[in-house]
A and B are shown apart, each in its own frame.
Chain A
């Protein structure tokens, strides 16, 4: 390894291999993972479409599902995508406070999305009589939105781990990521139990506040800088993918 390559390696940057491959193998790996994941969603959406158009008795989604709430959830994910790109832009400028602030906003947006989804599911299950076993509409709806919700949950934990790593290396990533995982599950559970929309918003905000407190308590030597932000960019790819998939799910399941 040359001196330049070695210097680059110590900064956490992977050298480019060929003109065809991207500058980061991590980014290439994430794209391959996202392509595989996209095929999973594609299979589910295709199955949804086949079952729906083969069934003349399919209920009208606009009447069964709440479009206003889901439109709010869509707007929330779009906003969280903006805060994610702002986080990446901030660290590219060497602005650590900006990275933490925008990462936290993104995490908060994802957690509120999950709180609203918990409220929606609760409403459909216990007030509108839908269930995963009732009919094909319920089966495909809960599997599709549940699979996407699992991705959002994974994204919240992933971005929290990046936030932890931004304040204190690997140990920070583990502690903050675990805090976010437990906090998000608790927020969703509380929303499900109380059946209140406001709880679906406030409980995730409280979770984000706890994540912020833990991250501030751990404040030490972070690993990211203006020249070393590859992991933030890879995490951002995952989050934008989750947003992109929701754009399609919103259209195909709720609107059409």
Chain B
């Protein structure tokens, strides 16, 4: 196990407080963003970016991924990539879900009647 020197530990403690301040500020920003007069898509995009930044800060500094071997980073990234793929895999189902919830019948293309002679 790596032995940490007092200087390293003091540096880490400062970093922990800095990250805490950032996490608090970003959480405050998230709460502020939902009251801004922007479109839902813009607010959603900003919220996802803020949440991703907060999650990355926790993983990198509190879970020490920034100082770990690359193997752990790859292990941590794998579920994130798979979950993004899962979201894209579910996208084709959204239309079917919407129809099911609204109980709308899908429009069936009908051939035009032959013109009268």
**Which residues on A are within 8 Å of B, measured CB to CB?**
13-14, 19-24, 27-28, 31-32, 34-36, 38-39, 42-43, 45-47, 49-51, 53-57, 62, 67, 71, 74-75, 78-79, 81-82, 84-86, 89, 92-93, 226-230, 233, 236-237, 240-241, 243-244, 247-248, 250-252, 255-256
Contacts and interface: CB of A to CB of B under 8 A. Distances in A.
Nearest to B94: A54
Contacts of B58: 81, 240, 243-244, 247
B62 A81 contact: yes
Main secondary structure of the interface of B (DSSP, over half): helix
A157 B27 CA distance: 27
Contact of B30 (A13, A19, A85, A255): A255
Contact of B4 (A13, A92, A240): A92
Given A22-B72, A54-B94, A39 B83 contact: yes
B74 to A, nearest CB: 10
22 contacts: A14-B1, A22-B69, A38-B79, A42-B79, A42-B86, A54-B97, A55-B98, A55-B101, A74-B27, A78-B20, A78-B27, A82-B20, A86-B13, A86-B16, A89-B12, A227-B1, A247-B58, A248-B51, A251-B30, A251-B50, A255-B33, A255-B47
Contacts of B4: 92
B108 interface: no
Contacts of B51: 247-248, 250-252
A149 B24 CA distance: 21
B59 A78 contact: no
B13 A46 contact: no
B93 A50 contact: yes
